[in-house]
Amino acid sequence: MSKGPVLEVKGARELRRTLARAGHDLGDLQTANAAISTYVATASKTAAPRVSGRLAGSVRGNKAKASAVVRAGSAGVPYAGPIHWGWPARNIAPQPFLVETAHKTEPQWRLMYLTAIDTVLGKVKGT
């Protein structure tokens, strides 16, 4: 009984090795995440509501492996959350400058991610 067509992959060992490495590299996009969070944080600083400038000065990006996160606020700027998300009980209307900036800059940071992923996948070898 025939088992069907036989497929031979030339360079299978190199293909497996480079695919495994690509999987690892895609799991660790720390450089891209740092660049993207810095890009969005910089744009968010200019969009932040200003009274003293302390809120804008507290905006920062992270350098994590798994995500790009932009944060605002600190112990010295505890009002960042209420300003951004609002606080109806205190008659503070939301001013979601971080979210709005992330949406406005999405075409740029999406391209940054695609470029980083393309670079990793370009390292996959095998025929």
* Domain locations in the chain as residue ranges: 30-121
Q: How far apart are alpha carbons 73 and 54 in whole angstroms?
A: 9
Distances from the Cα of 4 to the Cαs of 1, 7, 121, 127, in angstroms?
A: 9, 10, 31, 21
**Looking at this protein, which amino acid is placed at residue 21?**
R
Residue pair 82/90 in contact by the 8 Å Cβ criterion: yes
Predicted TM-score (pTM) of this structure:
0.76
Q: What is the model's pLDDT at position 31? A: 86
Q: What is the model's pLDDT at position 99? A: 95
Q: What is the model's pLDDT at position 121? A: 76
7-28 residue pLDDT tens: 565 666 666 766 677 666 666 6
Q: Rounded mean pLDDT of 78-83?
A: 96
90-100 residue pLDDT tens: 999 999 999 99
